Amino acid sequence: RVHSLARVEMTDPLTTKQKVKECLNPFKLSTQDLNSVLERLLKEMEKGLKKKTHDSATVKMLPTYVRHTPDGTETGDFLALDLGGTNFRVLLVKVNADGKSTVKLESEICAIPQEIMEGTGEELFNHIADCLAQFLDSRNIKDKKLPLGFTFSFPCKQIDLDKSVLIRWTKGFQCSGVVGKDVVQLLIEAIQRRGDFDIGSVAVVNDTVGTMMSCGYKDPECQIGLIIGTGTNACYMEELQNVELVEGTEGLMCINMEWGAFGDDGVLDEYRTKFDKEVDAQSVNQGKQIFEKMISGMYMGEIVRLILIDLAKENVLFNGMVPAALQMKNSFETRHISEIEADTNSLAEAHKILTSLGLEPSDDDCELVRSVCSAVSTRSADLCAAALTAVSNRIRQNRDVDCLKITVGVDGTVYRKHPKKTHFHNSSLAPQCDVTFMLSEDGSGKGAALVAAVVQNKNMCS
């Protein structure tokens, strides 16, 4: 320990500053860099929409078969399931029950144990059906056959509103026997195995679609849905005539972009740091979801941890010492980033978190750790802004307007906890787009129920 301290005292401050700069500068993206990113995404979006290039596109631009956003006339009781991470929600959603365009909901959160996340598909859907049954029991509505909105937040090929085939698992799920299968059918089979309740029609949507619909009920200008939490994705309303995978030319179609896979073909490699590459190498889906691994909550904390270890080994941090706790994968959590950055007036939060990891940090250590957190979180928001700019610019061009006023419905803990929310809309990238962000108050589950409500409403009116 004394030897380690001695080395720090002999370290040239200029050398230390240079080491920090070399480590963090790759996370600072210029306006030119971000414009390059958005132009590359636009090309990938075009590839995903066209029949000839769809199969080779990394950004799949999947049709959702959601043709309309809410107009406020929807009414009825609906169930919703929201599966997108280590927890899922069951909801009872009452739409326009009082005739005042309101949505009331009751919900319960159910945990998904690790062994089920990595078990069989039958075990997963049995667990979902069991939790749904308990929810219905608790409200004495097991005898009702209610329509259900199913938010299934993984890359799927949607064949119709009630048929969606899983392309691949993400976010730590590895359930066998599900890839290539219709998840609605797997849910129905699990319910049938129980045999003690039934459901009505099912509308399956991605969490981005649910978020857009949830916010769209309040704001008709909401035509983009964004999730940036454990993972990341976006959807938006595209002109049907541009969606070559679906017949028809009139009206709109909501597109589930699956933009987390942007960069899987190497187009983002020049912006990936050695830390990004190490996170990818250690992941269960190496070479996949490259954009997601640069900006989402599942990976940001791990990027910071690897940077801190690197700086400690360079004798810039922690007197050159790397405690055992920090050497453990995922020991520095993404929530620590926002907690440290939010503590703008002191270093107390940084000191508390680092101490919990077995360190004895100095004020200089805490200050540098905050700089590392800021570099990683700012890059996340900047890259997200570039991607959103690509989407909003496309919508503006589709509509052939000089200035687009649009709302982004957004959900996810990375956005909710981010200390620099203004970075998510970079006006210098999109001077012709007036973008407003609306937080989804009740998550994407409510939106899934609203999809079911919109479908029922349109069927009744047609």
Could you list the active site residues? 171, 207
Q: Which amino acid is present at 351?
A: H
In angstroms, the CA 292 to CA 333 distance is 16
How far apart are alpha carbons 124 and 104 in whole angstroms? 28
- Asked if 231 and 153 count as a contact pair (C-beta separation under 8 A), the reply is yes
Give the helix ranges, DSSP H, for 358-428: 363-399, 413-417
Q: Which residue has the tokens 């069989």?
A: 120
Please name the residue ranges forming H helices in 64-120.
Answer: 114-117
Task: Determine the Cα–Cα distance for residues 389 and 384; give it in Å rounded to an integer.
Answer: 9
Distance, in Å, from the CA atom of 217 to the CA atom of 226, rounded to the nearest integer, reads 16
Q: How far apart are CA 332 and CA 322, in angstroms?
A: 13
DSSP letters for 262-291: TTTTSTTGGG--HHHHHHHHTSTTTTS-HH
Pairing of strands 156-160, 232-239: unpaired
- Rounded CA gap, 43 and 259, in Å? 12
| Three-state secondary structure readout of 52-80 | CCHHHCCCCCEECCCCCCCCCCCCEEEEE
CA–CA dist 133, 113 (Å, integer): 18
